Each structure stands twice: as structure tokens, then as C-alpha cells.
Amino acid sequence: MTNYREILRMNSLGFNKTEIAQSLQCSRTTVRTVIRLAEEHNLQYPLPKEMSDKELYEMLFPNASGKIKYKMPDYEHVYKELQRDGVTLDLLWREYVDECRLAGELPYQSTQFNKYYNDFCAKKNATMHLNHKPGEIMQVDWAGDTIGIIDTATGELIKVYIFVATLPYSGYSYVEGFFSMDQESWTTAHVNAYKYFGGVTKMIQCDNLKTGVLRHGREEVELNRSYQELAEHYNTAIVPARVRAPRDKAFVEGTVGVISTFIIAALRNRQFLTLTDLNDEIWLKLYEFNHKPFQKKEGSRATLFADEKPFLMELPAEPYELSHWKVATVGPNYHISIDKMNYSVPYEFIKQKVDIRLTRNMVEVFFGGNRICSHVRLYGRANQYSTNEEHMPPDHKKYVAWNSERFISWAAKVGPKTEAVVRAILSSYKIEQQGYRPCLALLKLADKYSVERLEKACAKALTYTPQPAFKHVKAILASGQDKPDHVAEPTSADAASQYGFTRGAEYYGRTK
């Protein structure tokens, strides 16, 4: 599905329709139509936060469901089949019609079928001469060659992967080594490259690696979500190179080859013990590479970059912070569990699957493309809870008021002895909240036995121990020990004196 939100965003940044179409892998007609419909509906970017992608599509194309859709032929298959002896375009059209009828889909007529095939051939065989404008594109890639550093513990050689970013207009480049080619390294490399250049290009052109592009189909390009966020943060656009079309990224491919010779090969016999030492040496070589005079023209990459830098867009106030996306299901307790921590979600979303955006400091929850809540990220011991009162069902909110001050205040109204017992119960637990239920149970005893008896029972319990528990007070009330006419049951010693005799120490040959 075409990313209509991204079309409007790039249009607001000043990209022309051709650049938008190339970035999103859609036709200029689609871009022109979306911009026109947005103007007719008075839609401007940024869109309202509550508007989902589905609502945007329905607003732009309210009658799309009634539009006749034809089955687009697989022209890559047609192109390959025509290379075989005896196969004609008319034969392939008839086979295409039969397939559509069996599948219940509408086929194009032969004239339209042939026209689209000619358009396909024109694009497939086209070779564009790229005249780059200053500040327009940053091309990025991983170098094929690696450098090694020595593990000081084992003596083994650890691979270091080399990231290369190039500005095609000037050839000015940035290089940095990383231990892996994962999402964090890929994102950090882009942030450092823009910091090195001191500005942002209008577009980023990358290869179809998974840290940048999840899927590159004929009709749609699906970018890695974190990579798309990086582009939005820097107000730039990502234009992946066409699959199996290295000419789209020829300049950076050439630069990678030159850097492999100039930097990587030059350091092949050096030994490094840390990544910091290696990168320091790489950057010394990089400075030499960017300032090396051209052989066939005046100046260097650095002098051309001085002319290009004014055309770069300004860096944002803060660098991009890497985010990770996960999917979670809201539990019956209206919380989601992420990395052994629990975060509340509005109770209306119980049992729904939600998208989670994690950064170093924040946890954001999305449903249907809209953010429904956020929390400060929790760290430390496992199974902590971050609960927003507004996310609770109405019958749960009354329990939020539970706290030690409330119970102590209630106990003070009963009497000083009850207050002392409540304080003793709260202090007996390592976690204060664990004492709330015993205190609440103590409160209910006043309803069953009266306030006066509860105060007397607490006073009685304090004579036995300075740290009475709920069960002590309950036992006193249940047995009536708080009543003044209560007769204590005889102890085992008293019973022995009443119904038998006790031999003294003298009987056993002892003085005492």
C-alpha cells in the first residue's frame, strides 16, 4: 500500500513529485493525485495525531472500494519467457487472460498489456546519467573488506566492519568501524556521519540490507521502522537502490573501493587492541583521503565540500535516539510486560495487540498507528509496575488512594493504641504496600466488633508485644479478652497445681 502520509510529509519538505515517487517507489501520477486530494480536503502536514493511516486513506479516496481493479501482469516473467524460442507477446497475453479468469480477476486487453510491457522494457534497459546536486544525497554502505583487532584476553582476531558514507557531489566521505552491522551500529553510523558533515542531505540512498529496507517489491518499499524514524527526525527521505541495480549507487560503490585501498589496505599490517585506537587511525587516514588533491582537476574533495556544505540542511537540536519496536498483548490487568517490566495501558485495550516503541528513556504504546500512552522506562529489579491512574477501570481507581498516611489517619480517629498497631504493621514489611491489606482488614474489625472494642484489643495486644500483627488483634477480639469481665483460661502450670502435684527439685536429688 502506498504510504500517503509519507507523500504529504516529503511534499511539505519541498521535494518535487519525481523525487517523492523515486523515494516511495510509486508513480508521479499517484503523488500528484494524493497532493491534489489533500489540498481539496484542506489536509496539511503534520496531520492530526489522532488520524490513522486508514482514516487518511478513506478521506482521500472515499469511493475507492467501487473502483475497478485489473490484474497487473508479471512483466519480469514475460520478459524472461520471450527469450525462449517460439514464444510471442500475443501467446503470453492469452495465457495471462486465462490465469485471470481462473482466479476471478480482470485482465487488461492486449493493447494495454503491450503498452505496459513496452514501458517496463524502457525502464529496465534505461541507464541514467546522474548529475548530482550539492547537498542532495548521502550514499551509505558497508565496505566488503574488514579490519581486525586483537582480543587481549584470547589473542584472537575480532572482525571490524567498516561503514562508509559519501556525498556524491563532492566525494567527501565519512568512515567508521563497528563490531557488527546490526541496527544500533547502522543508526549510530548515520548520526555520526551527519555530525561529521555538519548538516543533513535531502535524501539518503542505501542498499537493500535489512537494517534499512525490510522489503523492496515492485509496487512498494517497506523501510525498517527505526530507519524511517531516523529519516523523519532529520527531515530527510530514504531512497533505496533498486534491487540488482548497482548503477544506482555507483558513486558510493566506487568510493568504497577507493577507501578499501587507501585506508583499509594501508592499515592491514598494523595491530590494534581497541576499537577506539582503530577508529582514531581510520579518521587520520580519512582526513588525508578527503584532502588529497585530485589527479585530473584542481582542488580536492574537501574544497568541493566547502562549496557543498551551505546547501546542507541544519542538524536538529538533538541527535536521533535509537528506538526498538516490539509487539505486545494487553493483559487482563491492563498492563503490558516489556523486558520484565510492567506498564499500564488504557483498560479499553485489554486483549488487544499494541506496538511498543522503546528508547533508552521512554516506552511509547501505539494502536492502529496512534499513540495511546507513554511511560518513563523502568530499570533495576524485575517485575516493577508503572501505572497511570487514568488507565484504570472506574471500580479500580478507589484503591489508588491507599497509602500509609490514609491508614494512620484512620487509626488515629479510633484511638492512639490502634494507631500504634497500624504503624507497627506497616513497619513490619519491607515493602510498605504489602501492609495495606492487613491494615484494611483491621479497619473492617471495627465494623464487626465496634470502635471501642478495637481500641481496647489493640491496647491488649501491645501489652504482649511491641510489634503486634493483625492476627493478634483478631484473636483477642474473637476470644473476648478485651472485655473487662473476661476470665482467663488456666495455664498448663495452673492446671497441674489444681489437679495434681508437682515434684520439686529435692525429689530428683537437686537443691534447686
Domain identity same for 198 and 258: yes
What is the Cα–Cα distance from 34 to 249, expressed in whole angstroms?
A: 29
Query: Is residue 318 in a domain?
Result: no
Q: Has residue 399 got a pLDDT over 80?
A: no
- Are 82 and 95 within 8 A, CB to CB? no
Domain identity same for 364 and 411: no
- What is the amino acid identity at position 494? D
Last residue of a domain, which of 49, 66, 83?
A: 66
Domain identity same for 418 and 455: yes
Q: Has residue 398 got a pLDDT over 50?
A: yes
Split at pLDDT 50, 70, 90, the class of 401 is low
Tens-digit pLDDT profile for residues 162-220: 888 888 888 899 999 888 888 888 888 999 999 999 999 988 887 756 554 544 444 44
State how many domains the chain has.
5
Higher pLDDT, 61 or 492: 61
Split at pLDDT 50, 70, 90, the class of 433 is low
Domain identity same for 25 and 61: yes
Assign residue 206 a region (left: φ > 0; alpha: ψ between -120 and 50; beta: otherwise): beta
Predicted pLDDT of residue 64: 56
Domain identity same for 104 and 173: no
Predicted pLDDT of residue 213: 52
Domain identity same for 479 and 420: yes
Higher pLDDT, 302 or 215: 302
Domain identity same for 250 and 149: yes
Domain identity same for 244 and 368: no
Predicted pLDDT of residue 219: 45
Domain identity same for 426 and 304: no
What is the Cα–Cα distance from 418 to 416, expressed in whole angstroms?
A: 5
What is the Cα–Cα distance from 25 to 243, expressed in whole angstroms?
A: 12
Predicted pLDDT of residue 61: 74
Distance of CA 353 to the CA centre of its chain: 15
* pLDDT (mean) for 87-111: 86
What is the Cα–Cα distance from 226 to 249, expressed in whole angstroms?
A: 22
What is the Cα–Cα distance from 261 to 149, expressed in whole angstroms?
A: 18
To which residue does cell 502536514 refer? 45
* pLDDT (mean) for 14-20: 86
Query: Is residue 202 in a domain?
Result: yes
Cβ-proximal residues to 338 (8 Å cutoff; 6+ apart), any chain: 326, 328, 356, 358, 363
Range of the domain at 415: 402-512
Query: Is residue 243 in a domain?
Result: yes
Query: Is residue 1 in a domain?
Result: yes
Cβ-proximal residues to 210 (8 Å cutoff; 6+ apart), any chain: 224
Query: Is residue 131 in a domain?
Result: no
Split at pLDDT 50, 70, 90, the class of 129 is very low
- Going by DSSP bridges, is the β-strand pair 370-376/362-367 parallel, antiparallel, or unpaired? antiparallel
Last residue of a domain, which of 376, 399, 422?
A: 399
Domain identity same for 491 and 389: no
Instruction: Find the largest Cα–Cα distance for the chain.
Output: 127
- Are 22 and 239 within 8 A, CB to CB? yes
CATH at residue 265: 3.30.420.10
Query: Is residue 427 in a domain?
Result: yes
Residue 336: φ, ψ to 5°? -110, 150
Query: Is residue 278 in a domain?
Result: yes
* Residue 139 cell numbers, joined: 550514499
What angle, 0 to 180 degrees and rounded to 10, lies between the N-to-C axes of helices 436-449 and 470-479? Answer: 20
Domain identity same for 84 and 232: no
Predicted pLDDT of residue 493: 44
Last residue of a domain, which of 347, 378, 399?
A: 399
Buried b / exposed e over 259-276, threshold 16 CB at 10 Å, is bbebbbeeeeeeebeebe
User: Starting at the edge strand that comes first in sequence, how are the strands of the sheet with 362-367 ordered?
Assistant: 324-329, 353-358, 362-367, 370-376
Query: Is residue 432 in a domain?
Result: yes
Domain identity same for 257 and 336: no
- What is the amino acid identity at position 145? D
Predicted pLDDT of residue 354: 92
Query: DSSP strand E in 79-153: where?
Result: 137-150
